[in-house]
Structure 1
Amino acid sequence: MRTICFYFQVHQPYRLKPYRFFDIGEDHYYWDDFLNRSVIRKVAQKCYLPMNALLLELIQKHHGAFKVTFSFSGTFMDQLEAYAPDVLESFQRLVATGQVELLNETYGHSLAALKSKEEFAGMVKQHQDKIKQLFNGYQPKVFRNTELIYSDKIGAMVADLGYKGILTEGAKHVLGWKSPNYVYQNSINPDLKVLLKNFRLSDDIAFRFSNKTWEDYPLTTDKFINWINAIPQSEQVLNLFMDYETFGEHQWAETGIFDFMRALPEAVFKHTNFGFSTPSEVIDKVPAVSPIHVPIPISWADEERDLTAWLGNDLQDEAFDRLYELEAMVKKTKDPDLMRDWNYLQTSDHFYYMCTKFFSDGDIHSYFSPYDTPYDAFINYMNVLSDFVLRVKGKVKGLEKA
């Protein structure tokens, strides 16, 4: 069985509004509703609606032979309900075809797996419930951690939660001479299968498609098919993992990205010995070749494929540590407004905006950030967090008096 596994991450954070020092203790609403609605409506028109229509067309045209996989963050699903119910309905139509697999992740698109096993498990359960609610009782069997962050220990935690597989990055420094085009297994719990992103072929679509300085520009379907056919026959699985916003948002329609995707499945069927499968199908049908050892967490971000996009500088570490110091108190309150804000404040994007890497990946970071500098992002976040601390402590004090 030679197969292509197309997986798309779909995420939008709740962005913070400008929050000044003088707002602390006075203003307890942190979210920029206008910006959040504007972004999701813009991306809906450029990406979600046209790409969903295209995928539905391809699924119907190929009568069940073409399949794709999605992971929706909880913050994305909340914003669909609030600002884009038409997009939610289009995703529901796709899932109803039976040719689309949904994955679980953390509800808040958080880094909780690095800090709190209890919070991680709670967010996963919350995400399970939301998927079940919005997609007619759907129950995912495969997991995708925020930003494809994975380590041996994280994999073991995911296995303990009952999942049969997890997706992560085919990082060069982990694989060495090995290929990402096989199924591997967690080194602690071999029952958990590990699917690795083929970052070269994935990033050819996601990042290099419209880059006119790229030596292989323009990327045509014929060229991509030739690269697929060059994969050794013994290698069974080609995992193409990317942000869904690749289509129409990062790579505009004018680049030809939709035409490329429209032509790709038929070209695969006609000119290769590959088909298409979902992660669950791959895990069920393709045996693992060996354990993969990942003692230090990896991710799919930046050249290093590590955690430095979110953690590592003093700004990020201070904000991250201050946030998770509140976990026990927040949970003690059981206050729905505090729990919602706690959830949204954990979103990895807030820490991404504080990244101070200005070399190989600086342009990518600045593209996604609503702030002028990482320091602005840090100050704004810490002002919000200071007010959040006051609210949490006030609620706990009130409960103790009662």
Structure 2
Amino acid sequence: MRTVCFYFQVHQPFRVKPYRFFEIGEDHYYWDDFLNRNVVRKVAQKCYLPMNALLLDLIHKYQGKFKVAFSLSGTFLDQIEAYAPDVLESFQKLVATGHVELLNETYSHSLASLKSKEEFFGLVEKHQAKIKQLFNGYTPKVFRNTELIYSDQIGAMVSELGYEAILTEGAKHVLGWKSPNYVYNNSINPNLKVLLKNFLLSDDIAFRFSNKTWADYPLTTDKFVSWLNAIPKEEQVVNLFMDYETFGEHQWAETGIFEFMRHLPEAIFKNSDFGFSTPSEVVKNSKTVGAIHVPVPISWADEERDLTAWLGNEMQNEAFERLYEQERYVKKLDDPEIQRDWEYLQTSDHFYYMCTKFFSDGSVHEYFSPYDTPYDAFINYMNALSDFILRVKEKVEEKALA
């Protein structure tokens, strides 16, 4: 039986509060608790709670034949523990069914895999411990790096950590004539399986669903199943990867997105030879067709599917380099507040807000950013980072004198 694999990314960053130049050295708390709480509660009501309830209904209705996977970032988990315990409980109920898989990632949704193996490993292990703590001893088997960022080398590191598979983008410039609807393996360590997002079908739901200028609008379950049925029979796996906030936040309830998802499993079961699998089940039940070679990192962001959403201009690169210059000093300290701020400052969103792309990709960046301009995002972040650097320097000097 052919299979559909649904994976949802669930993430919220700790946004930096308005932090002015003259506060450097005076104010050591950087996080906009009011905004962060408001965003989490708003998205909880529009997306997390109704969608979790819908998925729970579907799992019970189809007696476990319908299943999905989530990656819950550590910064998201920290915020729902603090601001939305009802959301945490609803995710715990889903996982308790045994038909929802949790994936591992970096705790702070960071770009550490591009810069520091030691920091990357530490954040992965911290995230694994958090999942184990909150979900009754659950231990993920599959990895999803921040924003599906992947390369041969990143895959080799993930394999070293003991994971059996990793998710990434089925980028055209990597696949060429190949299809994303197969299981591949890492080119350095063949033991690590690679699952590729079918970006056409995923983005039909995540981005085009409510677009009235789209030639295939409106998207119905029958239309979507007909596209699945048109896939060549030898292609066994269709990976539908998307932000969880697609449901109710990016695509509002009024668009019909919830009803689409409510009726999609029945349409697939009745009118196709597809079922549903979690990533672990895909890996277990599918043979690999060979290695996929990704020498330069890819991601699921923007038209280019590369790193330019986060590291595409001088501002982003300066902020990124200045931040990671602090790693060796932070490692010398055993200070919980320094460690917390170090991890939260690594979150990829801070760099995303500094992106200066135009056209359609630029509008997407603007939608997610709390700042008026990328330059404002850069200045605000660098002010907070400058204070952090001073704090770290003082702590290191104090420790040397002790």
Q: Indicate the residue corresponding to 2:84 in structure 1.
A: 84
Shift of 1:329: 0.5
Per the alignment, residue 193 of structure 2 pairs with: 193
Distance 2:267 2:313 in 1: 46
2:172 paired with 1:172: yes
Structure 2 Cα separation of the partners of residues 252 and 349 of structure 1: 22
Asked if 1:24 is matched to 2:45, the reply is: no
For 1:1-400, list aligned pairs within 5 A: 1-400=1-400
Q: What SS is found at the alignment partner of 1:364? A: helix
SS at match of 1:113: helix
Task: State the secondary structure of the residue aligned to 1:360.
Answer: helix
Secondary structure class of the residue paired with 1:180: coil
Question: With structure 2 as the length reference, what TM-score do the two structures score?
Answer: 1.00
Asked if structure 2 preserves the Cα contact closer than 8 Å seen for 1:163 and 1:192, the reply is yes
Post-superposition CA distance 1:92-131 (Å, at most 9, x none): 0000000000000000000000000000000000000000
Runs (5+) with no aligned partner, structure 1: none
1:358 Cα deviation from its structure 2 partner:
1.2
Q: Which amino acid aligns with 2:20?
A: R
CA offsets 1:187-220 (integer angstroms, 9 cap, x no match) = 0000000000000000000000000010100000
Instruction: Please tell me the residue identity of whatever aligns with 1:358.
Output: F
Tell me the CA shift for residue 162 of structure 1.
0.2
Provide the rounded CA distance (Å) in 2 between the counterparts of 1:97 and 1:359. Answer: 43
Q: Distance in 1 between matches of 2:337 and 2:366?
A: 31
**What's the CA shift string for 1:210-240, capped at 9, x where partnerless?**
0001010000011001001001000000000
User: Aligned partner of 1:167: which letter?
Assistant: L
State the AA in 2 paired with 1:194.
V
| Cα distance per residue 1:342-362 (max 9 Å; x no partner) | 000000000000000012301
Identity percentage over the alignment? 80
CA distance in 1, matches of 2:257, 2:362: 24
Cα distance in 1 between the residues matched to 2:264 and 2:385: 46
* Other structure's SS at 1:386 match: helix
CA contact (8 A) 1:13 1:347 kept: yes
Alpha-carbon offset, residue 334 of structure 1: 1.4
Q: Give the residue type in structure 2 aligned to 1:188.
A: I
TM-score normalized by the length of structure 1? 1.00
> Which amino acid in structure 1 is aligned with residue 392 of structure 2?
V
3-state DSSP of counterpart to 2:400: helix
Distance (Å, rounded) in 1 between the aligned partners of 2:239 and 2:348: 24
Tell me how far apart the structure 1 counterparts of residues 137 and 331 of structure 2 sit (CA, whole Å).
27
Q: Distance in 1 between matches of 2:142 and 2:219?
A: 31
Give the Å deviation of 1:9.
0.2
Runs (5+) with no aligned partner, structure 2: none
Contact 1:303 1:360 in 2 (8 A): no
Partner Cα distance (1:369, 1:64) in 2: 38
Please tell me the root mean square deviation across aligned C-alpha atoms, in Å: 0.4
Q: Count the aligned residue pairs.
A: 402
Paired residue secondary structure (1:212) = coil
Determine the C-alpha separation between the residues in 2 that align with 1:51 and 1:231. Answer: 28
Aligned partners of 1:346 and 1:155: how far apart in 2? 21
User: Which SS does the other structure have where 2:359 is aligned?
Assistant: coil
CA distance in 2, matches of 1:224, 1:5: 15
| 3-state SS, counterpart of residue 194 of structure 1 | strand
Q: Following the alignment from structure 1 to structure 2, what is the Cα–Cα distance between the partners of residues 222 and 269?
A: 12
Partner of 2:136: helix, strand, or coil? coil
The residue matched to 2:214 in structure 1 has which SS?
A: coil
User: Counterparts of 1:120 and 1:295 in 2: how far apart (Å)?
Assistant: 19
- SS in structure 2 of the partner of residue 265 of structure 1: helix
- 2:317 corresponds to which letter in structure 1? D
Return structure 1 stretches of 4+ with deviation > 2 angstroms: none
Task: Please give the secondary structure, in 2, of the residue aligned with 1:185.
Answer: strand
CA distance in 2, matches of 1:5, 1:170: 14
Aligned partner of residue 290 in structure 1, secondary structure: strand
Match of 1:304, SS state, is coil
Amino acid across the alignment from 1:245: E
What does the per-residue CA deviation read over 1:364-392, in whole Å, with 9 as the maximum and x for residues that have no partner?
Answer: 00000000000000000000000000100
What displacement does 1:331 show? 1.3
Cα distance in 1 for partners of 2:2, 2:82 equals 41
